[in-house]
Every structure is written in C-alpha cells, then in structure tokens.
Structure 1
Amino acid sequence: MPQEQQNDDQQGFCGRGEHPETMTEDVCVLIPTLDEATTIGDVIDGFRSEGYETILVIDGGSTDGTQSIAREHGADVLEQRGDGKGQAVSEALNRIETEYVLLVDGDGTYRPGDAEKMLEPLREGRAEHVIGNRFADMTPGAMSRLNRFGNRLINRTFAAVHHRDLTDVLSGYRAFTADSVRQLDLSANGFGIETELAVECVRQGIDIEVVPITYEPRPDGSETNLNPIRDGAVIFLTLYRLAKLNNPMLYYGSIGLTSGTVGVVLGLYVGYRWFFEGISHEVLALLSAFTILLGVQILMFGILSDMIVTLHREQRRRIERIAEDDE
C-alpha cells in the first residue's frame, strides 16, 4: 500500500473542520469517484468556495489521476477496499465524524451553491434525510430521454411499492445526519445505493424532505460510468429485493402468484391432453400440484409477513408518541 494511503488510513477522515467559527464545520462533503479527473478539481473548488473545508473523496481505484488532483485541491482521499459506489459510500460513512454529511457525485452535474439549501431542513429539524430533486430545474441536455424515462419509471415503481412518492429516488445529491444513516442497513454495492438509502429511510421511519436543485450536463470530455440498461436493471432488482422488508405482501405475493399461475397452466395442459387426446402426464401433474401448493404457501407467508410489518409500524408509532409526550 502506498505511503500516502497508509497515512490516510491512520489519521481518519472528516472530523472537526479547521474553521470552527463557520457554519460549515459540522458538515463533511462526501464524493465517491471513479475516473473523474476532468471534473473533480472543479467540484472540490466549488464546495471550498462555499466554505466547506471538510471534503472526503473516496475513490474506486481511478487510473486517470483523480486521487492526485483531489489531494492537490485540498480534499482528503481514501481509496475504497471494495468495488462499486454503494460499497464506497458505506465504507466512507464509517469514517465520518461530523454531524451532517453532504453526499454528491464528482461529475460536476450538481451545484455546490445548492448545498445550503440541502442542509437547511436538517439544521431546522424538519428532516434527517434530504434528497435533491433534479427534475425541478434540469438544464437541457443534462439527461438523455432514455435516462429520463428510466428515472420516471423507477420513481413511480418506488411510489407504488413503498407508498411514498419521493420524486427523485436516484438523485446523487443527498444530505443527512450522521446519526440517521447509522440506523440504516446498507448492503448495495453499485448504483443501487441511492434506491437503498430511500427504501431504508422509509422503512426506518426517518423523516425525508425533497428540495429542488439544479441538474446540469456533464462537462465536455467527462464520460459517465453509468450504463443505463445494466445499472437500470440492477436498480430495479434492488428495489424489488428490498420490497420484502417494507412491502412483503407485494414481494412474496408476486412470487406466490407466479408459482400458482405456472401450476394452473401446467394443470390445464395436463387436463387437456388427458381428456382430448388420452395421453397422461403424471410427472407434469405432480409438478402442477406442487407449484400450486408452493404458490399458496408463499402467498400465505406474504400475508403473515405483511401483518407483522404493520404491527411493527404501529408499535413504533406508539413508542414515538410516548417519547414525544415525555419530552
């Protein structure tokens, strides 16, 4: 391991800033990067010009000099031990000691000038997690039609599955309290981290606020690491996988109905062949009965899980009301 990296590991990151008299010393700007040499310097300078001195760049092993540029512009740099944006964010959060965290991509598409707007709901106690809504002020050319369609579809799916419309769950501009993020069970490795943050906040009952921000095109010469088809599929799978924690009826119900439907279709085929052609399919008949019974059992499990989740939510609300009354 390079000496620079060893020193970084020993000293830790994002403790108290150098200027305690400012209003930004309780904020750590967290920037996950991978080959962002074209933009990372300007991003760091932008936040420093806004008064944010505590900046941590966690890098996924860039080969274009991103780490060196980040250090030259005054940021702390940590090279992640694993792979993927989700793993990078989770690893970095374990190092951060400030009260607030401002999470932003290093591609130059977000404005540092929106940072205070993002932090305001946290400072005023209105929320513990803030999402920047890119669709409120999207500069022409900032997002392709395919990406815009995919984002809209994912947002609507999220709202249907988790009964909460957060407008832009895939936004890479977030602000949250360090205490709230420690309550979350984060396991996504790649671009599913934004979806997982939103799902976990809803599941844990963490107050969320959505604020309008400006979203700009990537600067010329800067290439995206996002593959719309591949990463879109990963995000959908993450959204579906996490539904079992917040909406188990949908998750297990869909599996149960699929299994039951397969069983019914097989049963109809076996019946048709028996009654009209005189050909028996004992194995298919057994498989049909098995899949129908399996589907019913999974569906019942979904109903029971949904009841447990509902009771858990009610119990949590009662505890919160009791705590509020005590205060």
Structure 2
Amino acid sequence: MLIQNEEPSIAVLIPCYNEEVTIGKVVRDFRKALPKADIYVYDNNSTDRTAEIACQAGAQVRREPRQGKGNVIRAMFEDIDADVYVMTDGDDTYPAEAASHMVEKVLEGYDMVIGDRLSSTYFQENKRPFHNFGNRTVRGVINSLFSANVTDVMTGYRAFSYSFVKTYPVLSKGFEVETEMTIHSLDNNIRLYELPVQYRDRPDGSVSKLNTFGDGFKVLSTIFRLIREYKPLPFFGGLGLLVGIIGFVLTGSVVFDFFRTGQVQRFPTLIGAVMLIVIGLLCIVLGFIQDTLAKNSRRRFIMDTNYVTRDYRMQKR
C-alpha cells in the first residue's frame, strides 16, 4: 500500500526480438498513455535496428543475452523496481490506451491484471487458426483442472504488483511463460482481474516469432509439468488408479481361469498384473506425498509474499 498522496512508480516492460517495424510506435504509444512511467525495452539478441529505434523513441534499452521470452521476463523482474509493472509485446498488437486502467486495478489491490484478448477481437484479427485452437484448448484444460474461469491464459499484455514480480519464480525460458504465470497465480490463489482489450493483428512487414507447432508443444509440455507439480494428487493418483485397474482386470482374468480349470495357466500375466497393482499403489502414495509438499510450498510462497510486501512498505515510508 502506498503512502497517501505519493505518486506510484510505474514501469512498462517490453521484451523484444527483431521488432524494428513496430517498436518505435509501441514506445511512443505507451509514453502517451502513461506519461510518468519509465519504459524499458529489453533487446533479446535482435539482428535489426530494434534497440536503436527504441532508444530514439525514448525508452531505456537493456540487453538480455539468454534467448527466449521467459529469460527476458526473468531479467526484467529481477532488475526493475516499481510499484506497478505493465508488460506488453513490442509487436503493436495491444492497445496502450488500456494501460492506465490496468494500472488502476493493480493500485486497487489486484496482483495481476490480465489483458483479455479473447473476449474482444482476437479471433477476428488473428489469421492463424491453429493459434485460435491452441488458445481454446489450453484455456479449457487449465480452467477444468483449477476450477477457474480465466478467459485468456496466454496473453502477453499484463500488469503486476511489486509483490507478484518479486516472488514469482520464472522457470520457463520461452513463450510458454505466460501459461506458467497463469497456473502459478491460480494455484496460489493470487488476486486476478481480467480486463478485455482490443487485439489487432501484426501490421504488414512485422513477422511473428512464435512457431505454431514448436512453441505449441512447449506450452503443452509446460502444462503437463505444472499439473504434475501443482496438482500432484490428481496427477499421480489418477495415473495410479488407471494402472491399478488394469492390474486388477488382468489378475481377475487369471483368477477366473483358475476357478474354471483349477490351474494357473498364465504365470507371466499374473506376475505382471500384480506388479501393475503395486505400481498403482505406489503412484497413489507418491501423489499424497507430493500433495503435502505442494501445500508446504504454497505456504512458503504466502510467507515470502508477506515478507516482501512488508519490507517494501517499510521502504516506502
């Protein structure tokens, strides 16, 4: 919480890789929308004039040598201190006019504000059908698993509080980082707000760096990994139950043959079936153990967030 009458500090964070066509306009638009904000462009090994144009437009340009959007976000979150953070892409697909409303929501107490593209013009503007299918699929899976109702899981337009930025562990290296953010927030019951924003497709001459199938596979892999980490009991318990049922069915067929013939005719099947039952039970036990560890991890996260928030408030006094 800010001291009354104190002007909040705002940082606009723009990860960039070869965005010379659009980055100048993006910087100028956000300078107009948030005139008191500091604008940071993180150049991720661009081979064009992205850094030069961003600097001319008035942004503070920094370089991140580790390739990948996740690596850039990790560097931004580590380097920059502000009361409110606005993160956008350098491709001019998100409206800067919505930034002030997003900042207001963070100052009201939300930890992450999601710029929701899918409720507005995304499906009309985006010309890549597999991206549309991927967004719907990822959204459905995550909402089902976390009993949530998030509309846009993968948007790159977000605003954050200081405590979120300084406690969020960025593990992903690439474009899957937005999905990781959403799952992390839902699992830790972080205060979220979705703000519908107008989406526009890239202008002519601007090329997307997102590989539909390669990065789509990374997103799905990230979801699989995060479900295993954040929802271990349903993951391992469901797997154990499935393996155990298969083992019981095979065991039952051998027992049925025994009662019918008086002999155990399929010893390899019986041995394999018993092993499947044991493996299934072990998976279920592992699920309970991992679930306890996950709960302890959430408890530590809450404590760390409280410490960060307390220390930051003391610094602001």
What TM-score, normalized to structure 2?
Answer: 0.81
Give how far 1:249 is off: 1.8
Q: Of residues 180, 185, 191 in structure 1, which corresponds to 2:175?
A: 191
Q: Of residues 274, 278, 290 in structure 1, which corresponds to 2:275?
A: 290
Measure the CA separation in 2 of the matches of 1:230 and 1:257: 32
Q: Higher mean Cα deviation, 162-171 or 247-256?
A: 247-256
2:117 counterpart residue number: 134
**Structure showing greater relative contact order (alpha-carbon pairs closer than 8 Å, 6 or more residues apart):** 2
Query: Structure 2: any 5+ residue segments left out of the alignment?
Result: 306-317
What TM-score, normalized to structure 1?
Answer: 0.78
Measure the CA separation in 2 of the matches of 1:271 and 1:69: 76
Measure the CA separation in 1 of the matches of 2:218 and 2:252: 35
Q: Does the Cα contact within 8 Å between 1:156 and 1:165 map onto a contact in 2?
A: no
Residue by residue over 1:92-135, the C-alpha shift from the partner in whole angstroms, topping out at 9 and shown as x without a partner, is 1111011111010111100111101111111122x111101102
Measure the CA separation in 2 of the matches of 1:91 and 1:229: 26
Give how far 1:263 is off: 5.0
User: Residues 307 and 94 (structure 1 numbering): CA distance in 2 closer, same or farther, change over 3 Å?
Assistant: closer
User: Residues 279 and 205 (structure 1 numbering): CA distance in 2 closer, same or farther, change over 3 Å?
Assistant: same
User: Residues 106 and 268 (structure 1 numbering): CA distance in 2 closer, same or farther, change over 3 Å?
Assistant: farther
* Secondary structure of the corresponding residue to residue 106 of structure 1: coil
1:64 counterpart residue number: 48
Q: Of residues 210, 215, 227 in structure 1, which corresponds to 2:199?
A: 215
Give how far 1:205 is off: 2.6
Residue by residue over 1:33-91, the C-alpha shift from the partner in whole angstroms, topping out at 9 and shown as x without a partner, is 11111111111111112215411111221112211211121212222131211111011
Q: Of residues 273, 277, 287 in structure 2, which corresponds to 1:302?
A: 287
Q: Of residues 104, 108, 132 in structure 2, which corresponds to 1:124?
A: 108
Query: Structure 1: any 5+ residue segments left out of the alignment?
Result: 1-20, 321-327
The amino acid that maps onto 2:181 is L
Q: Of residues 22, 38, 49 in structure 2, which corresponds to 1:39?
A: 22
The amino acid that maps onto 1:291 is L
Cα RMSD over matched residues? 3.3
* Secondary structure of the corresponding residue to residue 175 of structure 1: strand
Q: Does the Cα contact within 8 Å between 2:125 and 2:199 map onto a contact in 1?
A: no
Q: State the aligned residue count.
A: 294
**Identical aligned pairs, as a percentage?**
30
Measure the CA separation in 1 of the matches of 2:217 and 2:241: 22
Measure the CA separation in 2 of the matches of 1:264 and 1:61: 56
Give how far 1:281 is off: 6.8
The amino acid that maps onto 2:108 is E
Give how far 1:235 is off: 1.1
Q: Does the Cα contact within 8 Å between 1:36 and 1:106 map onto a contact in 2?
A: yes
